[in-house]
Structure 1
Amino acid sequence: MKPMIPTLLLLAMGSAQAAPIAMEDQSQLKVPGVQAAPQFAPPAESAIPDNAFGKMVREGHALFVDTRRLMPEAVKNGLNCSNCHLDQGRMAHSAPLWGAYPMYPAYRKKNDKVNTFAERIQGCFTFSMNGKPPAADSPQMTALSVYAYWLSTQAPTGVEIAGRGYPEVPKPAAGYDFKRGQQVYQQQCAICHGDNGEGQKVAGEYVMPPLWGKDSYNWGAGMHRINTAASFIKYNMPLGKPGSLSDQQAWDVAAWINRHERPQDPRLVEGSIEKTRLKFHANDGVNLYGQKVDGVLIGQGIGG
């Protein structure tokens, strides 16, 4: 059985001449062999064992797909984990759990520290869910981690698997265009996410996630980066038609979505958008936080 925690490299500490440690930043996943078929398949649901471990796997699965309803104290917007990690965390090129779990602990530039897998999930609650993360030793975190571990059964530890993450979509030579993005949104996205990015509800519960506004991901979430959103969109959207948009269309519509306001970055520095931009956004991919678009400052935030 694969160990619960990937093996850590033991470093000699005695030499004053020791070379600095180079740690890979996994804030944005690098995906080799995008065109190649994924080399790993997670176990089928029918393979969940009928024992205490299997019970915990099922509890984690339930939390993953119904996060907002089952963890209202931790989620403060309209999203579930499965909105960004499609097919219950199974789908290749949609940041599947089986591609993430075996790669932690890992250094992340976002918080400039080595993160455990639990800390990585906590970051999702803080930013993508705009909420309050559960404690690392809480029953919910244990269940979510066990579900991710089970999906990665027999996956290699510390090896980037084809299909992991959101494959990079290079920025088009002509950049992006908001007007074209608005057209793509209305033609391809509004039917599910609403004309104003508000999502769709049935019986008061979101069945399609909001893409901007008070119930969407906040300005600290990875998806606020236009390049990250373009990669997710290109390989996963429209739902059921992944890859049907061109690179240009993916970038244009990602820019259109991320020019709209959403909850404030919880790391806001001294109430200043500019200080927050300089500290957290200036070197964080392609994003609009702290910039003016059509004379309007982006990043002011929107409350509940």
Structure 2
Amino acid sequence: MRKKSLALAVVGASIAAAGVVTANAQSDGEQNAETPYQNLVEMGYPAPQEGQLVHVPPTMADLEDADLHPELKKVIRRGYDLFTNTQQLRGKNVFNDMNCSSCHLGEGRQPFSAPVWPAAITLPNFRGKNQHVNNLEERIAGCFAYSMNGTPPEYGSDDMLALSAYHRWLAKGAPVYPDQPIYGRGFPPPDRPEALSYARGETVYQEQCAICHQEDGSGHYEDGEYVFPALWGDGSNNWGAGIVRTHTAAGFIKNNMPLGQPLSLSDQEAWDVAYYMTRQERPQDPRYDGSVDDMLEKFGPTFHKHSSYGDVREHDDHRLADHANWGEKGEEVIPWNVGVPRFEDLED
């Protein structure tokens, strides 16, 4: 626990070092573009480039001094609480061992760890995963259905409003629908090597990752509560989660792992670990209709072309995802937001 707290404190200090600013590298000049995240640059992360939108999200401490209605502050605090401790919704909306902050490190503020504030300024927008325009609530709902292997709070509910409010608080001061690329957005992967190795990935995993996530990827628990999340198995995200895509996992690993030692793995090591990790079993994609082949026909050209879904694993001939295991949620819990079409009346 001390290792985790120290690592996040270092990251938090790096993020907060520049204060709460929004810098447009294209219009505000070179100095403003380089000042935000300077500590991260010194750690080896790329510096903001000319033309990028550079935004340092406000903190919860900044919320106390903000000129906002006290009731709004309460709701934002609730959103922060849900984001960092989503396990409090276990058995209702969450059916694995994940929190939102398991993937979106630094309270959802950290560059190169899929900071969540960009969603608040770029949505509504078209999303290839479900082939229609999504708003912020729908984007959050997708995380519950896939990353949490659960079912989301209802649109407009207290919990969904609180999570949306927290996202928008982090985006305070950032322009809506920016024309510039966003600095530190997503999990940018390093260049893909010519060949990936399951065996090399397993070796690096056992040497660098198992100390926190266990040899079997089941995560680490203390006093009945998880400290480090499960990377595969029933306690992890399902086959529809974004991080099961090999390039997404490689980007997360390269930029953030091992915890407290970001950028310490080589590009080859990050990709090999991602390849190893994403070729392990996990709960079924909630879009599954009983046939892996049907799933690949529907989603192979889009989402699953980047995952190992339906692949035959090289060392044991096991076909990945060829099962009806739904994890802790079982067959009875069906995420209500999956497979729901939108705007059909707008078809030409």
After TM superposition, the score normalised by the length of structure 2 is 0.74
Q: Which runs of 5+ in 2 are unaligned?
A: 1-44, 329-348
Q: Please report how far the alpha carbon of residue 39 of structure 1 lies from its aligned counterpart in structure 2 after TM superposition.
A: 2.1
* Alignment correspondent of 2:217: 197
Q: Does 1:170 align with 2:181?
A: no
Contact 2:218 2:233 in 1 (8 A): yes
- Structure 1 residue 277, shift from structure 2 partner: 1.8
Query: CA–CA distance in 1 between the matches of 2:291 and 2:273?
Result: 28
Partners of 2:64 and 2:176 in 1: how far apart? 22
Residue type of the alignment partner of 1:256: Y
**SS in structure 2 of the partner of residue 296 of structure 1:** coil
1:154-200, Cα deviation, whole Å (9 max, x unpaired):
01211242111111322212x21000000110111101100100001
Total equivalences in the alignment: 269
1:108–1:282 Cα change, 3 Å = same
Q: 1:39 aligned to 2:76?
A: no
What is the aligned counterpart of 2:271 among 247, 251, 256?
A: 251
Corresponding residue of 1:116:
135
- After the TM superposition, which of the residue ranges 200-209 and 77-86 deviates more from structure 2? 200-209
State whether residues 94 and 149 of structure 2, in contact with CA within 8 Å, keep that contact through their aligned partners in structure 1.
yes
Classify the secondary structure of the residue corresponding to 2:196: coil
CA distance in 2: counterparts of 1:203 and 1:224, whole angstroms: 29
Q: Does 1:81 align with 2:92?
A: no
1:142 aligns with 2:161: yes
Where does residue 91 of structure 2 map in the other structure?
72
Which amino acid letter does the alignment assign opposite residue 63 of structure 2?
Answer: I
Q: Which residue of 1 aligns with 2:207?
A: 187
d(CA) in 2 for partners of 1:241, 1:264: 32
282-291 or 131-140, which deviates more: 282-291
In 2, distance between residues paired with 1:234 and 1:117? 27
Write the distance in 2 (CA, Å) between the matches of 1:256 and 1:149: 36
1:170–1:247 Cα contact (<8 Å) kept: yes
Q: Is the 2:189–2:254 contact (alpha carbons within 8 Å) kept by the matching residues of 1?
A: no
Indicate the SS of the match to 2:175.
coil
Aligned-residue Cα RMSD (Å) equals 1.5
The SS at the match of 1:48 is helix
Worse-matched range after superposition: 198-207 or 80-89: 198-207
Ranges of 4+ aligned residues in structure 1 off by more than 4 Å: none
Distance in 2 between residues matched to 1:177 and 1:283, nearest whole Å: 24
Check whether the contact 2:77–2:166 (CA below 8 A) recurs between aligned residues: yes
CA contact (8 A) 2:113 2:185 kept: yes
Q: Which residue of 1 aligns with 2:32?
A: none
Matches of 2:236 and 2:294, distance apart in 1: 23
For 2:258 and 2:301, the matched residues in 1 are separated by: 30
> Are 2:121 and 2:177, in contact at CA under 8 Å, matched by a contact in 1?
yes
Q: CA deviation at 1:286?
A: 2.4
Q: How much identity, in percent, do the aligned residues show? A: 46
Measure, in 1, the Cα distance between the counterparts of 2:216 and 2:189.
Answer: 27
- Is the deviation greater in 147-156 or in 284-293? 284-293
* C-alpha separation in 1, matches of 2:225 and 2:126: 36
The aligned counterpart of 1:233 is 253
Aligned-partner Cα distance in 2 for 1:188–1:106: 38
Over residues 20-59 of structure 1, what are the superposed CA-to-partner deviations in whole Å (9 max), with x where a residue is unaligned? xxxxxxxxxxxxxx72248211112222147111111110
Match of 1:260 in 2: 280
* Structure-1 residue corresponding to 2:244: 224
3-state SS of the aligned residue for 2:230?
coil
Deviations 1:74-98 (A, max 9, x none): 0000000000100110101111122
Note if contact 1:100-1:164 (Cα within 8 Å) is conserved in structure 2: no
* Aligned position for 1:161: 182
Q: 2-side partners of 1:192 and 1:146: how far apart?
A: 32
Summarize the alignment of residues 286-301 of structure 1 with structure 2, pairs less than 5 Å apart. Answer: 286-294=306-314, 295-301=317-323
Q: 1:205: how far off?
A: 1.5
1:190-228: per-residue Cα shift (whole Å, max 9, x none)?
Answer: 011001000011121111100010110000111111111
Q: Would you say the 8 A contact 1:273–1:300 is kept in 2?
A: yes
Which whole-Å CA distance do the structure 2 matches of 1:167 and 1:226 have between them? Answer: 12
Distance 2:302 2:156 in 1: 33
Normalising to structure 1: TM-score of the pair?
0.85
| CA deviation string 1:86-119 (max 9, x = no partner) | 0110101111122221111110111000000100
For residues 88 and 41 of structure 1, what CA distance do their matches in structure 2 show? 13
Deviation at 1:282, TM superposition (A): 4.1
* Partner Cα separation in structure 2 for residue 167 and residue 200 of structure 1: 26
Residue 261 of structure 1, CA deviation: 0.5
What does residue 15 of structure 2 align with?
Answer: none
| Superposition deviation, residue 254 in structure 1 | 0.5
3-state secondary structure, aligned to 2:221:
strand
Could you tell me how far apart the structure 1 residues matched to 2:240 and 2:296 are?
10
